[in-house]
A and B are shown apart, each in its own frame.
Chain A
Amino acid sequence: EPEVTQTPSHQVTQMGQEVILRCVPISNHLYFYWYRQILGQKVEFLVSFYNNEISEKSEIFDDQFSVERPDGSNFTLKIRSTKLEDSAMYFCASNSQGALYEQYFGPGTRLTVT
């Protein structure tokens, strides 16, 4: 069964450094999402992406964040200058039909900012 993959599984970085989290969505999916979960807290929406542009973003998704689909398979989340509070689990998700349909989640990338 096709699945969403994410790399790396765990990333440790120093405050102020740039990180890129990578996702490979399911191949025929057209809608892509990033979510964040700070340890012990709920999962929060960051951004949705369709047709090579951002569809919606949350208040969390400020100028430090950017997303890109550099080729036909990868979907990346970049944090330009990481802060301690960016430490969280980051989940990528995708679906084929956008609104009102279930999203398929990747296994997540645990980001630790020291």
Chain B
Amino acid sequence: AQTVTQSQPEMSVQEAETVTLSCTYDTSESDYYLFWYKQPPSRQMILVIRQEAYKQQNATENRFSVNFQKAAKSFSLKISDSQLGDAAMYFCAYTGANSKLTFGKGITLSVRP
């Protein structure tokens, strides 16, 4: 079975600074996708970024980028130029052949003005 681990329960970053959120996963599949979802206090799940396992290039989406290390099964999210609106819960998630999403426990990110 696939597992997703987010070992840091919370992090804090100064506005305009950069922060990295860690995620590791375990799978025996060779083809899969990884995602970072943002969950603000409204509890809506918002897709931040996705990474296809077969792609070597790290995904980027404006201020958000990932460091995907397939051999190490690591998938971290970097947020550059942090903004107050980035404060939220962030979930790392995995999907493979059976299509269900497996989520990590999440990390609470706070942004200091």
Interface contact A102-B99, CB-CB below 8 Å: no
Query: Using an 8 Å CB-CB cutoff, how does the interface string of B18-56 with A read, 1 for contact, 0 for none?
Result: 000000000000011101010000111111001010000
Interface contact B100-A42, CB-CB below 8 Å: no
List which A21-73 residues lie within 8 A (CB) of chain B.
31, 33, 35, 37, 41-45, 48, 55-56, 58
Cα distance A100–B106 when bound, in Å? 21
Interface contact A31-B99, CB-CB below 8 Å: yes
Chain A residue contacts of B91, Cβ below 8 A = 42-43
Count A-B pairs with CB separation below 8 Å: 70
Cα distance A94–B45 when bound, in Å? 13
The total of chain A residues at the interface (CB under 8 A) is 27
Interface contact B31-A100, CB-CB below 8 Å: yes
Min C-beta distance of A110 to chain B, whole Å: 8
Cα distance A7–B35 when bound, in Å? 26
Partner of A56, one of B52, B99, B103: B99
Chain A residue contacts of B33, Cβ below 8 A = 100-102
Interface contact A56-B45, CB-CB below 8 Å: no
Chain A residue contacts of B31, Cβ below 8 A = 100
Partner of A102, one of B47, B97, B98: B47
Min C-beta distance of A106 to chain B, whole Å: 8
Partner of A100, one of B46, B97, B103, B104: B97
A to B CB contacts below 8 Å, 13 in the list? A31-B99, A35-B101, A41-B105, A43-B91, A43-B101, A45-B100, A48-B100, A89-B43, A91-B45, A99-B99, A100-B95, A107-B42, A108-B44
Given contacts A43-B91, A100-B31, A105-B44, 12 further A-B contacts (CB under 8 A): A33-B99, A33-B100, A42-B105, A42-B106, A48-B99, A56-B99, A58-B100, A98-B99, A99-B96, A102-B33, A104-B47, A108-B44
